[in-house]
Structure 1
């Protein structure tokens, strides 16, 4: 029997419904479950794409001549941020009428950029289009074809996927019809890509790999064995799902903007003023991407089962500080702050996780500098104290006569985040940050002093190998 063409594309694919030891009992739980499955599916698609593309490409290798290896159609925002995917797949994003078009690189020069040149283009859906209520990802490559949809069926949230060429063909025809209405000028080029990467019969190895990745990327709350299951309050689980979705939706468009900016920076004959502005855009995007990554990782670690501890190892804190201090100083200088550092010439090794510690420290310093008035001085002191290494941050006013800043006002957002109205800064709350340092083998102490304002003190355990 021939399949009827649906109004959206959510009915084209079977439901992704792995066994759940904690079945949903109401719509809110069903919604959280569907979003969790969507995130798992998208992470799995990204892994498949990175394995299928000819070779890994870094940002420094991007060029407008990069060969297109496939067609990617998503909604309502760009989904993937990895440079290899951004550069090698031509991406079309169906945006909703209320989407923030400023986040998409659609009109950077006062004219509509060339559709083929930029490898990424937004197309706005009609306001009454039922597709505006869905999230979807259609992937067409020479290796595999796949569609993933987050929508509703029979009034309930559903995440669905399919490798079936018939389903993919119906999905493509549904999207092509919309493009014919709203962006017919691009149809001939997209038709060429769709014909070049038309849906193919799935190789069972890609399907098996995708299924395995689905399990690997599922949040602990859905797939952990009962013996290791973490009892997370429903309210906290909702916070985690919201933060995961929020950080993903922010990082993805920012990464797209940064990639396009770096492509522009490669263009010859740019004026110094333009180079300076593009450099500032690149830097700001990178900082915000790193902040979102810290929030995402922090929440993930904060809700991890105790049995899944962070890997700790003997590491050189001196090398970490040598790498991070220039970035900290740049952050301070941009806010007209003076960063003074007092570090011994030779530091003992500590026990922690170098990658996560670097990210957490940089995020902590950034939040610290955002709260200080222009002209303040930040003192960073590192000293061995017994069997621990002490790293302390404190601020001083511009002069002895200058009043110190008032204590920072922070509003809680859920149980994991705080918001500072004066700066617009969103960050992990101090309880979560303290838990992160505990997972990293250390300890964070926060005190308010009348003269120094907020003082942050971090203790890290010294390596017994270094002491012996």
Structure 2
């Protein structure tokens, strides 16, 4: 893709790249010690704190800049503030109608748009895919980003005017080189907001609220990636995977916030039973989708690494009581299936030995398998889960019975691959049901990382073999 002025957006001066901007924001910040899981939780908590605690004002005016996707998700803020988002050009090709996720702002050519919105800008090869957000209003001025290599990740939050001024200067120079009209609009809007200033009270409010939100986020909100980063950004497949990772995180951000708010409401004792029941249903749906998108992220991360670079040895796995794990998950799965009017039948042979796997990740992976298998089943069907010995392995088999009416699943059998279309390296899509799921290859690779071997045959259900300790 080429800009109207003839420049190639994929080729960005490295000194004006968003990666350089992150480095300037992180200058002077102590080195990180976190993994991807921990810093993503910090990022989500920081976004929620910023939007719920610092930016809730009437008649708010200001600007925001983000990459690689919009970080703000509160509708009221998006309507009041003018934004610019650096997003990959591959977004339009990744999923059907995905371009609607990033609408281009339709405000006036100059000045502060009355209806908010944001303009999409091209993300360059040297920009990286770590999230970045700058928000400038008369009272709130802050920059946030994630930075650092694997196992040394950190959340960077800067309120100091000197650092923010330097960041805005870099952005202005970049826009001058790539989109002079956008640079002019941004400068005009910033001038109307007045000079940058430091508000110590804002900083004092931010960090305690961030800590409170982190304490409220349940450990299952995210999955720790098995590997991080890598891949050749020059390859289309790698670009798609990087974008998919960013998309999954941005989808889970509002879901995590909604679930946290719901769980705080559920602590009240004066709630009518019907209201509590509905909130519990929403909480369950949020948890299911958070885990579902977590698996998509995990599959994308794993796909970006060649198998030879991610060795799998016995030390990576542990003795896992699969029988006990299934027993613990039975009630959760029953509720999950009941939301689609399905039943669960669990059969576990007695005195089964433990298997080699990772119980923490296996729990979410099995939940994803139940979702994958059941999503195309007709209402009234029963999902049968059986665990039994099979030589030196344990055999976990998923099958189904038809509904009492004898109806067929929309789009074919849930185990049939003929009705699914591949969408990118790790996703498949069923046009008949609108269901977006992990592809068979991605699902098999995830189970391989957990010590299992998945087989899927049309009409025979799903089977996973785990090695016995």
For the aligned pair, the TM-score class normalised by the smaller chain equals 0.5 to 0.7
Query: Partners of 2:304 and 2:203 in 1: how far apart?
Result: 45
Instruction: Give 1:402's aligned residue.
Output: 406
Cα 1:197–1:103 change in 2 (3 A) is closer
Query: Partners of 1:101 and 1:356 in 2: how far apart?
Result: 27
Cα 1:425–1:387 change in 2 (3 A) is same
Cα 1:395–1:194 change in 2 (3 A) is same
Instruction: Give 1:357's aligned residue.
Output: 362
TM-score scaled by length of structure 1:
0.59
User: Are residue 426 (structure 1) and residue 436 (structure 2) matched?
Assistant: yes
**What is the DSSP-based 3-state SS (H/G/I as helix, E as strand, rest coil) of the residue aligned with 2:341?**
coil
Cα 1:434–1:101 change in 2 (3 A) is closer
Cα 1:179–1:461 change in 2 (3 A) is same
Residue 179 of structure 1, CA deviation: 10
1:140-219 counterparts in 2 under 5 A?
Answer: 147-148=143-144, 165-168=161-164, 193-194=201-202, 219=229
Query: Partners of 2:328 and 2:436 in 1: how far apart?
Result: 25
Instruction: Give 1:334's aligned residue.
Output: 339
Cα 1:284–1:197 change in 2 (3 A) is closer
Residue 370 of structure 1, CA deviation: 1.1
Cα 1:458–1:243 change in 2 (3 A) is same
Instruction: Give 1:227's aligned residue.
Output: none
Query: Partners of 1:272 and 1:85 in 2: how far apart?
Result: 29
Cα 1:217–1:331 change in 2 (3 A) is closer
User: Are residue 264 (structure 1) and residue 265 (structure 2) matched?
Assistant: yes
Query: Partners of 1:273 and 1:171 in 2: how far apart?
Result: 50
Residue 316 of structure 1, CA deviation: 1.4
Instruction: Give 2:80's aligned residue.
Output: 124
Instruction: Give 1:242's aligned residue.
Output: 243
Paired residue total: 344
User: Are residue 344 (structure 1) and residue 349 (structure 2) matched?
Assistant: yes
**What is the DSSP-based 3-state SS (H/G/I as helix, E as strand, rest coil) of the residue aligned with 2:44?**
coil
1:8-407 counterparts in 2 under 5 A?
Answer: 27-28=9-10, 37=19, 80-82=43-45, 86=49, 90-92=53-55, 104=74, 124-126=80-82, 127-128=107-108, 132-133=119-120, 136-138=132-134, 147-148=143-144, 165-168=161-164, 193-194=201-202, 219-221=229-231, 234-267=235-268, 269-305=270-306, 306-310=308-312, 311-399=316-404, 402-405=406-409, 406-407=412-413
Residue 338 of structure 1, CA deviation: 1.7
Residue 331 of structure 1, CA deviation: 1.6
Cα 1:95–1:427 change in 2 (3 A) is farther
Residue 346 of structure 1, CA deviation: 2.2
- State whether residues 36 and 241 of structure 1, in contact with CA within 8 Å, keep that contact through their aligned partners in structure 2: no
Query: Partners of 2:31 and 2:51 in 1: how far apart?
Result: 10
- State whether residues 447 and 454 of structure 2, in contact with CA within 8 Å, keep that contact through their aligned partners in structure 1: yes
Query: Partners of 2:227 and 2:205 in 1: how far apart?
Result: 27
Cα 1:283–1:320 change in 2 (3 A) is same
Cα 1:36–1:79 change in 2 (3 A) is farther
The alignment yields a C-alpha RMSD, in angstroms, of 5.0
The answer for unaligned runs of 5 or more in structure 2 is 1-6, 35-40, 57-62, 83-106, 122-130, 147-155, 173-185, 207-225
Residue 458 of structure 1, CA deviation: 0.7
Residue 332 of structure 1, CA deviation: 1.7
Query: Partners of 1:217 and 1:36 in 2: how far apart?
Result: 23
Query: Partners of 2:17 and 2:264 in 1: how far apart?
Result: 33
**What is the DSSP-based 3-state SS (H/G/I as helix, E as strand, rest coil) of the residue aligned with 1:90?**
helix
**What is the DSSP-based 3-state SS (H/G/I as helix, E as strand, rest coil) of the residue aligned with 2:311?**
coil
**What is the DSSP-based 3-state SS (H/G/I as helix, E as strand, rest coil) of the residue aligned with 2:413?**
coil
Query: Partners of 2:325 and 2:17 in 1: how far apart?
Result: 37
Instruction: Give 1:213's aligned residue.
Output: none
The answer for unaligned runs of 5 or more in structure 1 is 1-24, 53-77, 107-120, 151-159, 183-189, 199-215, 223-231, 464-468
**What is the DSSP-based 3-state SS (H/G/I as helix, E as strand, rest coil) of the residue aligned with 1:389?**
strand
Instruction: Give 1:7's aligned residue.
Output: none
Instruction: Give 2:221's aligned residue.
Output: none
**What is the DSSP-based 3-state SS (H/G/I as helix, E as strand, rest coil) of the residue aligned with 2:133?**
strand
* Per-residue deviation, residues 135-184 of structure 1 (Å, max 9, x unmatched): 843599xxxx973579xxxxxxxxx9989751336779999x969989xx
Query: Partners of 2:70 and 2:51 in 1: how far apart?
Result: 25
